[in-house]
Structure formats: C-alpha cells, structure tokens
Amino acid sequence: MDELVLNDIWDLREYERRRNEYRSWIMERKRNRRVALGDFVTLVFENRDTVKFQIQEMVRAERMISDEQVQGELDIYNALIPATGELSATLFLELVDEESLRNWLPKLAYIERSIELHLGGEDGNAKVVTCFPEKAHEAMLTREDVTSTVHYIRFKLEGPDIESLRNGGGTLVANHPYYKATTELGRQVVDQLLADLSG
C-alpha cells in the first residue's frame, strides 16, 4: 500500500489555488468508482487519489495548519487505501429523512458484512467474495442493534479471482436479511478495480 505522507498534502493556500481543477478531476474519476446497490446503498471504491481528496477537504474544512493535525488525518484515512489484492470501499446508506433513519438503521445492523462480489459463473456457480469491515474503523462503526450510515469495507481477491473479474466482470450483491439488491459492474468500473488490485 502506497500510503500518503505529509509532503503529499497541499497546504491551505496551495489547495485553494488548485481546488476547482483538482475537484473536477477527482469527481470524474469517482464517476466510475461509485456503484448504486439497490434503493439507498452506494459503494465508492477508494484509492490513493480519492483518499488524498478526502484529506485535503478535511484539512480545508477544519482549517488545519500544523503538521500534527494533518498527520492525524493521514493516520485515519491511509487505512482506506487498498493493499495489493484488495478492494476498499466506503459504503453509504443514503437515507435522507429522520423517519427512514429510525426505520432502517436498526434493521440494517451488520450491513457492513453482507456485501458480496460475485465473479464469473452462472446458475449459482459464481465465486462469492464477501466483504469484511476495515479494521481501523470497525470498533467505531459496528453495533449489534443499530448501524451507521457510513462503513468502510474491503474485499480480498486471490489471483484466480482477479482473472475472473478481468475476463468475466462481476456483480455486487447486498445479501442482508432486510436488504437484497444486485448490480452488475460496468466495464469502466471493472477497469478501475483491476487497477486498484494491482496496487
């Protein structure tokens, strides 16, 4: 994993000069990393560039000027950069009103363990790779009786799995008792994921 370091993060003045162009560039890249899964679950597959953008935006929003402050953000967000052979995603529950939050958050406990990547095969013969929570954030976000609207998850793929993704694409599946959904990954998304898997 190619972690970000202090010298990778622009200071506030430099970022303000670059922000509009950089933000447009990142949004274009994220377009093929954002996958809707059913009515209100979205996954954004993270890489070094998307993580750098998150850190830059946090530094800007919090007006961070010390190395110690920025290093704190690096320590938190570097965990989202995928290692070789892994995919890293931020899972969003896009629930926008209080009634939906009250209704769904208790039902969807452990949603962060129920997302699957199906590779190759048909009629039940697909290889199923189940996600797992990102360790550094699991203790903060996993609860037995209610879930958070944001989770950080990973998928670990072996060599044959990567070839299956390359040659046959993949399908994301939400396999939770209260939430079932399926989305086939488009070729542009697959290409982004293959780049992440290669490190």
Which residues are within 8 A (CB) of 32 and not within 5 positions of it... i.e. 6 or more apart?
186, 188, 189, 191, 192
- Give the angle subtended at the CA of 34 by the CAs of 86 and 69, to the nearest 5°: 70
The tens place of each residue's pLDDT in the chain, 199 residues long, gives 689 999 999 999 999 999 999 999 999 999 999 999 999 999 999 999 999 999 999 999 999 999 999 999 999 999 999 999 999 999 999 999 999 999 999 999 999 999 999 997 655 678 999 999 988 777 666 677 889 999 999 999 998 999 999 998 999 999 999 999 999 999 999 999 999 998 7
pLDDT of residue 144: 77
- Do residues 149 and 186 both lie within one domain? yes
pLDDT of residue 120: 79
- Dihedral angle of Cα 193, 195, 196, 197, to the nearest 10 degrees: 90
- Do residues 8 and 90 both lie within one domain? no
- Do residues 166 and 196 both lie within one domain? yes
- Do residues 171 and 140 both lie within one domain? yes
Q: Contact 35/189 with Cβ under 8 angstroms?
A: yes
pLDDT of residue 121: 62
pLDDT of residue 126: 81
pLDDT of residue 80: 92
Distance (Å, whole) CA 199 – CA 76:
20
pTM score, whole prediction: 0.91
pLDDT of residue 136: 72
| Cα Rg, the chain, nearest whole Å | 18
- Do residues 189 and 113 both lie within one domain? yes
- Do residues 167 and 90 both lie within one domain? yes
Q: Locate the DSSP E strands across 34-178.
A: 34-37, 41-46, 86-93, 115-119, 127-130, 132-133, 150-156, 170-176
- Do residues 140 and 166 both lie within one domain? yes
- Do residues 110 and 120 both lie within one domain? yes
- Do residues 93 and 168 both lie within one domain? yes
- Do residues 186 and 128 both lie within one domain? yes
Which residue in the block uniquely carries the two structure tokens 């809707």? 36
- Do residues 185 and 158 both lie within one domain? yes
Parallel/antiparallel/unpaired status of strands 115-119 and 127-130: antiparallel
pLDDT of residue 74: 95
- Do residues 36 and 106 both lie within one domain? yes
Q: How many domains does the chain have?
A: 2
pLDDT of residue 1: 62
pLDDT of residue 135: 80
Tallying the residues shown for the chain, one arrives at: 199
Question: Structural domain of residue 131, as residue ranges?
Answer: 32-45+83-199
